[in-house]
Amino acid sequence: MRYVIMANGRGTRWGGHSGVPKHLIEFDGETLLRRIVRQVSSLDPGAEIVISASNPLYETEGARRHTPKVNEIELDRFVPELITDEICFLYGDTLYSTPAIEQIVATATIEIDFFGDERAIVALKSSNSELLLAHLGHVRTLFLAGEIANCVGWQVYQSYDGLPFDEPQIGPRFRVLTHATVGFNSPHEHESFHDHDGRMGVR
């Protein structure tokens, strides 16, 4: 299994908050990137772990860094040149509880699985590269043609599950995570996390 940790966003909402990029904020002495690498490698020792990022600061022990060939729109975080059968995309700005990572790693995927809850998709796992690339291409084409307003994980899921491209909703092919994850897209989310004693059930 190849695990791609997506960390090539522009970070426009994050700005210069905390003095480091959001992927390098620390939890219990580990950066988010290092924590994900450790969690995955402990559960899947034979995994290939790739950090998709152009920033050399994101070099992390236990993973190799890959600079994406294309980074024009948000959907390009799902790096097409890295896609192969048996691939899992994780978000580099997300704090995953260990049980959440365990659930993602342990899931046997037949085609494509999306993980998260009604708030956010936090992982995508695929065993069919041709099918995944087809849906990524479909969403990209619709977005560039101005037919849909966004092109992130939700739209890929809506394309795959045959759902309308409007408000996110959970359909039958969505795997709801029963354990906590916390995303850090903005300074507000980071500050709210610490306001709740920096835990919020994430272990």
User: Does 202 map to a domain?
Assistant: no
Q: Note down the domain range covering 78.
A: 2-195
Q: How many distinct structural domains can be found in the chain?
A: 1
Residue 119's pLDDT is 84
The domain spanning residue 165 has which CATH number? 3.90.550.10
Is pLDDT of 189 > 90?
A: no
Mean pLDDT for the chain overall:
86
Q: What is the pLDDT of residues 141-172, one digit of tens each?
A: 999 999 999 999 999 999 999 999 988 889 88
Token pair belonging to 18: 């905390």
User: Does 203 map to a domain?
Assistant: no
The model's confidence at residue 124, banded by pLDDT at 50, 70 and 90, is very high
Segment 110-115 long-range contacts (CB within 8 Å, at least 24 positions apart): 112/160, 112/173, 113/173, 113/175, 114/153, 114/156, 114/157, 114/160, 114/173, 114/174, 114/175, 115/175, 115/176, 115/177
Residue 15's pLDDT is 52
Q: Which residue has the higher pLDDT, 47 or 18?
A: 47
User: Does 139 map to a domain?
Assistant: yes
Question: Got the DSSP string for the chain?
Answer: -EEEEE-----TTTTTGGGS-GGG-EETTEEHHHHHHHHHHHH-TT-EEEEE-S-GGG--TTSEEE--S--SSGGGGS-GGG--SSEEEEETTEEE-HHHHHHHHH---SSEEEEE-SS-EEEEEES-HHHHHHHHHHHHHHHHTTSSS--SHHHHHHHHHT--SSS----TTEEE-SS-EEE-SSHHHHHHHHHTTTTTT--
Is pLDDT of 195 > 80?
A: no
Residue 191's pLDDT is 44
Q: What is the pLDDT of residues 42-59, one digit of tens each?
A: 999 999 999 999 999 999
pTM (2 decimals)? 0.86
User: Does 21 map to a domain?
Assistant: yes
When mean pLDDT is compared across 86-95, 118-127, 184-193, the lowest value belongs to: 184-193
User: Does 38 map to a domain?
Assistant: yes
User: Does 201 map to a domain?
Assistant: no
Residue 83's pLDDT is 98
Residue 14's pLDDT is 45
Q: What is the pLDDT of residues 164-187, one digit of tens each?
A: 998 888 988 899 997 777 554 544
